[in-house]
Structure 1
């Protein structure tokens, strides 16, 4: 077997083993370290009296290796299929030869030439290339996401199911775009491969592109009412995935989600969650006008409440700068001031500021 073929097989196996290796490392090293850190912390505050094995028992119940077997196998299989198509398509079409001139051509290095120069199976090869590039994009995004969860010791079986399903969704969305490429004005060739790769990284954007090109579903709701959480400053695509796992899919969900539960169920710092939630509440309260408040230096509801502590003059100044009516500012201010969830955010902000001063 040629050296090139051996390298391709090794590369496929190495990339496909990323998730199993990371999972093994998580159980072998990260959980042990987390257990030691918790035991040390609780011991220093005298919370481990007469309970020497409490932390170990809790960790064993919370993280069971058998729960990871199926989801890790699922995402590993999808990765393996994508990498075989991408790097070792000769497994499917055979090695090139006199009787097989269209046999092998590396998908990742030849791009659209993989199917454009083929005398047979050209459409099939194009679609396989589209699927492979979308899985490659998904793999890159999934690798970053899983590693982040690994680093924060927040890696659950559901994370692997989530990234595996995203890979499948991305491949199907890319395939639909490839089928409709001529009808919706997308360029053929390497352009469709680039789109497939990006859809792999951002499946939701690929779905929005597909829906925008296929005028089938009637538009029955204001897009603003279902704004994605990315409109909140500081929330990236990886943050969005993590928030979605606790049921937060849009800005309104974030604004009204129980803040205490959010702290418990996510690994993000309290101050970061405080800022995100406060921004989301400002977006929901002012809707289309929230961007105008940024002209006055108001990023979230906490800034808004602080700005109006100086009375009527400040209210008039904000109205002049933003163009928002004085009545709207007064009504929204009253709503926010009487909102118990906002009062909780104010309390957390006060406590955090006191902690920093000390």
Structure 2
């Protein structure tokens, strides 16, 4: 299907370069009213070029994606169906947005061509752009006035190590956003995908911290060298660490006891506990395999700090 679709796409691209568009076409003209034949022909030419640019961008990205799958020895028949669907969706979105914007794109045809090409080059960009153009009443899931405040959508590429190719790959396993990644099973992902277990565990740990703190505090945590849920919970084990992360939990001062309760609430979540137990088990296996090469000075420092706190109490 991908080969046939590519052949048809390149044939249409070559035809669009020399086709005169003397006759009106509903797909190319849309619902735009034209006064003269020249205006109608120009509008249809711009529409054809925008759709062709979307196809070329989608084809370039699809080729790169398939090459990466071959390089990882992970190419499956479903990959060809996915990239074919991506090409078709990009063409449809480019055409819809062309008619949606109307004659406004006549004054920025080069920018529209570049935008259509980017729609194909970055999966999800066209859908997000089209979604932003919809009226607010069409986006709500129900008659809830607080919908915009409650609804959150964190794309996967907010996490370190996830690019457009990995994002597209993970979406085939129904991991479409950060919230789903935060609750994913790392062992299942390790078995199903070509990515190593340490990378998957890091993605999930980052996702959990982003979901808990939100995007603004998440960026502040990165500036404080706290990039995942493990760093956050490890810092909360000492009095100094809890004082250090307090700005991430609240804008107003909090007592140490309140911070402890907040940390207990966060660490007791089932997905956080599950992830921590897996990482702890892997750490124990590594210590037994390399008893002389590995030393955890950080844990020793924490134990001494906890002892000092107990003695002071």
Normalising by structure 1, report the TM-score.
0.65
Are residue 77 (structure 1) and residue 4 (structure 2) matched? yes
Q: What RMSD, in angstroms, separates the aligned Cα atoms of the two structures?
A: 3.1
- 2:279 matched residue in structure 1: 346
Are residue 303 (structure 1) and residue 231 (structure 2) matched? yes
Cα distance, 1:101 vs. partner?
A: 11
Q: After superposition, what is the alpha-carbon deviation per residue over 1:194-234, rounded to whole angstroms, capped at 9, x for unaligned?
A: 11101111241222222223325245344762211111122
- 1:259 matched residue in structure 2: 186
Cα distance, 1:183 vs. partner?
A: 6.7
Which residue of 335, 338, 350 maps to 2:265? 335
Does the 8 A contact of 2:21 with 2:41 survive in 1?
no
CA distance in 2 between partners of 1:135 and 1:334 (Å): 51
Distance change in 2, residues 1:320/1:119 (3 Å) = closer
Distance change in 2, residues 1:271/1:174 (3 Å) = same
- 1:20 matched residue in structure 2: none
CA distance in 1 between partners of 2:163 and 2:179 (Å): 17
Consecutive unaligned residues in structure 1, runs of 5 or more:
1-73, 94-99, 103-116
- 1:196 matched residue in structure 2: 116
CA distance in 1 between partners of 2:116 and 2:183 (Å): 35
Cα distance, 1:122 vs. partner?
A: 3.4
Cα distance, 1:184 vs. partner?
A: 6.6
Cα distance, 1:140 vs. partner?
A: 0.8
- 2:311 matched residue in structure 1: none
CA distance in 2 between partners of 1:316 and 1:169 (Å): 50
Cα distance, 1:343 vs. partner?
A: 2.3
- 1:281 matched residue in structure 2: 208
Does the 8 A contact of 2:74 with 2:194 survive in 1?
yes
Which residue of 240, 246, 250 maps to 1:319? 246
CA distance in 2 between partners of 1:193 and 1:223 (Å): 36
Does the 8 A contact of 1:75 with 1:163 survive in 2?
yes
- 1:211 matched residue in structure 2: 131
Farther off after superposition, 266-275 or 126-135 = 126-135
Q: After superposition, what is the alpha-carbon deviation per residue over 1:71-91, rounded to whole angstroms, capped at 9, x for unaligned?
A: xxx11122112212223547x
Farther off after superposition, 318-327 or 239-248 = 318-327
Distance change in 2, residues 1:265/1:292 (3 Å) = same
Are residue 232 (structure 1) and residue 162 (structure 2) matched? no
Report the 3-state secondary structure (helix = DSSP H, G, I; strand = E; otherwise coil) of the residue aligned with 1:181.
Answer: helix
Does the 8 A contact of 2:98 with 2:105 survive in 1?
no
- 2:34 matched residue in structure 1: none
- 1:22 matched residue in structure 2: none
Report the 3-state secondary structure (helix = DSSP H, G, I; strand = E; otherwise coil) of the residue aligned with 1:284.
Answer: helix
List aligned pairs for 1:7-26, cutoff 5 A: none
- 2:171 matched residue in structure 1: 244
Cα distance, 1:261 vs. partner?
A: 0.5
Which residue of 165, 190, 199 maps to 1:272? 199
Report the 3-state secondary structure (helix = DSSP H, G, I; strand = E; otherwise coil) of the residue aligned with 1:189.
Answer: helix
Consecutive unaligned residues in structure 2, runs of 5 or more:
23-36, 141-146, 295-313
Report the 3-state secondary structure (helix = DSSP H, G, I; strand = E; otherwise coil) of the residue aligned with 2:83.
Answer: helix
Normalising by structure 2, report the TM-score.
0.73
